Amino acid sequence: MAHNQIIPSSETPSGEDHPDWTTLVARALDDITRIMQSEIRLVTTSMRTILAEQTDRVLGFIASGVLMVFGMMCILAAAILFLHEYAMLSWWQSFGITGLALCAIAIAVRAFSAPRSKTPAIT
Determine the Cα–Cα distance for residues 61 and 38; give it in Å rounded to an integer.
Answer: 35
Residue type, 56: D
Report the pLDDT value the prediction gives residue 103, as an integer from 0 to 100: 94
Give, in order, the Cα–Cα distances in Å from 119 to each of 68, 109, 116, 122. Answer: 38, 22, 9, 9
Domain boundaries, the chain: 32-113
C-alpha–C-alpha distance, residues 71 and 96, integer Å: 20
Q: Is the model's pTM score more than 0.95?
A: no
**50-90: pLDDT as tens digits:** 998 899 899 999 999 999 999 999 999 999 999 999 999 99
Sign of CA dihedral 98, 99, 104, 106: positive
Query: 83 exposed, middle or buried (CB, 10 Å; 0-12, 13-18, 19+)?
Result: buried
Q: Which pLDDT value is given to residue 123? A: 64
- pLDDT at position 18 is 72
pLDDT tens-digit readout, 11-64: 555 545 677 888 999 999 999 999 999 999 999 999 998 998 899 899 999 999
Residue 12 DSSP one-character state? P
